[in-house]
Amino acid sequence: MSKKPTTRRSKPKLDPGLLLAHKAYEAAINSNNTDLVMAMYDKDASQLPPDAPATVGWDELKAAVAGYFAGYKTRWTKVVLRNYVAGDYGFDEGHDTAVDIPIVDGKPSGKPIHYDCKGILIYKRQKNGEWRVFRDIWNNNKPPT
């Protein structure tokens, strides 16, 4: 008798350095603090959000992050599905969910907006060996609710 092939996939082995950078980036976003998020970015970082132009350049990126936190209290859960390193670049594919609560009169208020996304993070190794986000790319799996 032969064994039936298994359809269950084993969990991929994740690069520990990229995984630490990923968790630090997620924590920075969930702090809702622009400076903490900006500290996670490479000097040449950019974002490619869904349904919006790319955010390119440090000043534009900082303004976008600050604007996001001015408009919403956010909480992201970013689950790494696979990651790998190629030279001084790291690649991270994941499934992200988020809840944004609009800021009204300086306080989170109003109906929460839920997101279900697939995301790709590209990291660039810095001279000190740390990873910083070089590209943050995501797309909604379904329209936000």
Confidence of residue 8 (pLDDT cuts 50, 70, 90): low
Question: Can you tell me the mean pLDDT for 79-108?
Answer: 94
- Residue 2 above 60 pLDDT? no
The pLDDT tens digits of the residues spanning 37-46 come to: 999 999 999 9
Residue 13's pLDDT is what? 83
Averaged pLDDT of the chain = 91
How is the chain split into domains, by residue range?
16-140
Average pLDDT over residues 71-88: 95
Does the structural domain 16-140 have CATH classification 3.10.450.50? yes
Rounded to whole angstroms, the Cα distance separating 72 from 106 reads 10
Extract the runs of DSSP E, i.e. beta strands, from the chain.
41-48, 55-56, 72-86, 89-104, 107-108, 113-125, 131-140
Give the span between the Cα atoms of 95 and 89, in whole angstroms.
20
**From the CB of residue 13, how many other CB atoms can be counted at a distance below 10 Å?**
9
Query: Which residue shows structure tokens 């622009």?
Result: 34
